């Protein structure tokens, strides 16, 4: 909303917004960095955005202007806390171990078959128009094998957009490295296996990576850590 007093919708910038903020899984201490996009009149001023968690909840307002400085978010622990009291693989605090197959509620078996801790050479080779990662960041590419073990569904669609990643920075990353080789976009027939890559831009020295699919969590182990 701006000087005209008209509420402007967030979905008016076209079909694709880079790194768009969509419905996502948030855990305690998580930080996400995503984009919102609005179409506004060219002479509109005093822009503000609001967040409302529910229909009857209050609106929380933020100025949309670029600040001179950005207040630092509160410190979050760089250590991934574990909690053996919750079922393995169902929470970030107790992910399934690296190398094991994760069984999902929608009838999939997901296995990480390889991890490329610094995948810029492969991303660049796939498309020369791809941008490199930001300073002090890197591309982390994960190859996953998907098996359809469901007894009721003929095919299950799985794309890289259904995966996210969290590490020691406590940021929840979406798959966003540009065009990548063998990008995961499959329709897996019942009883079959297919594979593909998902890729994330992560902190250069970040560790303790955990792959997320829906409500399920899978540790990547030390293979995802960048070697000195």
Q: Is the pLDDT confidence value at 218 over 60?
A: yes
Dihedral sign for Cα 67, 70, 73, 78, please. positive
Q: By percentage, how much of the chain surpasses pLDDT 70?
A: 81
Examine the domain organization and report whether 121 and 199 are in the same domain: yes
Write the CA distances from 130 to 22, 83, 125, 139, 219, integer angstroms: 23, 39, 9, 12, 28
77 lies in some domain: no
Predicted local confidence at residue 74, as pLDDT: 46
Alpha carbons 14 and 30: distance in angstroms, whole number:
28
Q: Is the pLDDT of residue 7 over 70?
A: yes
Report which of 225, 227, 224, 207 is spatially closest to residue 112, judged by C-alpha positions.
224
What's the distance, Cα to Cα, between the start and end of the chain in Å? 48
Does a structural domain hold residue 94? no
Task: Pick the more confident residue, 62 or 187.
Answer: 187
Residues 109 and 219 in one domain: yes
Would 95 be classed as within a structural domain? no
- Count the domains in the chain: 2
Q: The domain spanning residue 153 has which CATH number?
A: 2.60.40.1240
Residue with the bigger pLDDT between 91 and 139: it is: 139
- Which one of 69, 85, 112 terminates a domain? 69
Q: Are residues 167 and 209 in contact, defined by beta-carbon separation less than 8 angstroms?
A: yes
Decide if 177 is inside a domain: yes
Q: Average of pLDDT values for 1-16?
A: 71
Task: Select from 100, 75, 40, 51 the least CA-distant residue to 169.
Answer: 75
Is residue 157 a contact partner of residue 186, using CB atoms and an 8 Å limit? yes
Q: For a pLDDT cut of 90, what percent of the chain falls above it?
A: 45
The model's pTM is 0.68
Tell me the per-residue pLDDT of 38-55, one tens digit each, with 9 for 90 and over. Answer: 888 888 888 888 777 777
Tell me if 86 is assigned to some domain.
no
Give the C-alpha distances (Å, rounded to integers) separating 225 from 140, 185, 198, 204.
9, 26, 16, 9
55 in a structural domain: yes
**What CA–CA distances, in Å, run from 16 to 12, 20, 21, 102?**
10, 8, 11, 31
Residue 92 lies in a domain: no
Looking at the structure, tell me whether residues 114 and 159 fall in a common domain: yes
**pLDDT tens string 188-210:** 999 999 999 999 999 999 999 99
Q: Which range among 4-13, 50-59, 106-115 has the greatest average pLDDT? A: 106-115
Give dist(CA 93, CA 89) in Å, integer. Answer: 9
Q: What is the pLDDT of residues 161-198, one digit of tens each?
A: 999 999 988 888 988 899 999 999 999 999 999 999 99
Pairwise CA distance, residues 67 & 17, whole Å: 23
Output the pLDDT for position 115: 96
Task: Determine which helix (DSSP H) or strand (DSSP E) holds 174, and give its type and residue range.
Answer: strand 172-174
In a domain, 214, yes or no: yes
In this structure, the answer to whether residues 65 and 127 fall within a common structural domain is no
Query: Contact, 60 vs 52, CB < 8 A?
Result: yes
Domain that holds residue 41: 1-69
Given a contact cutoff of 8 angstroms between Cβ atoms, the answer to whether 98 and 224 are in contact is no
Residue among 121, 117, 141 nearest 132 (CA): 121
**Is the predicted pLDDT of residue 69 greater than 60, yes or no?**
no
């Amino acid at each position: 909303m701006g000087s005209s007093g008209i509420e402007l919708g967030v979905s008016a910038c076209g079909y694709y917004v880079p790194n768009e903020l969509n419905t996502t899984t948030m855990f305690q201490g998580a930080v996400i960095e995503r984009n919102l996009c609005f179409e506004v009149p060219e002479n509109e001023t005093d822009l503000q955005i609001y967040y409302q968690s529910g229909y009857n909840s209050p609106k929380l307002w933020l100025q949309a202007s670029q600040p001179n400085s950005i207040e630092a978010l509160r410190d979050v622990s760089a250590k991934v806390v574990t909690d053996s009291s919750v079922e393995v693989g169902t929470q970030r605090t107790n992910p399934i171990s690296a190398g094991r197959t994760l069984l999902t509620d929608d009838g999939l078996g997901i296995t990480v078959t390889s991890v490329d801790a610094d995948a810029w050479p492969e991303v660049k080779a796939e498309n020369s128009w791809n941008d490199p990662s930001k300073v002090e960041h890197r591309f982390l590419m994960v190859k996953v094998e998907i098996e359809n073990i469901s007894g009721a569904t003929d095919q299950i669609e799985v794309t890289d957009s259904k995966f996210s990643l969290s590490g020691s920075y406590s940021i929840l990353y979406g798959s966003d490295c540009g065009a990548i080789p063998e990008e995961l976009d499959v329709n897996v027939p019942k009883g079959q296996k297919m594979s593909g890559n998902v890729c994330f831009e992560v902190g250069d020295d970040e560790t303790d990576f955990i792959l997320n699919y829906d409500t399920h969590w899978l540790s990547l182990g030390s293979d995802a850590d960048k070697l000195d």
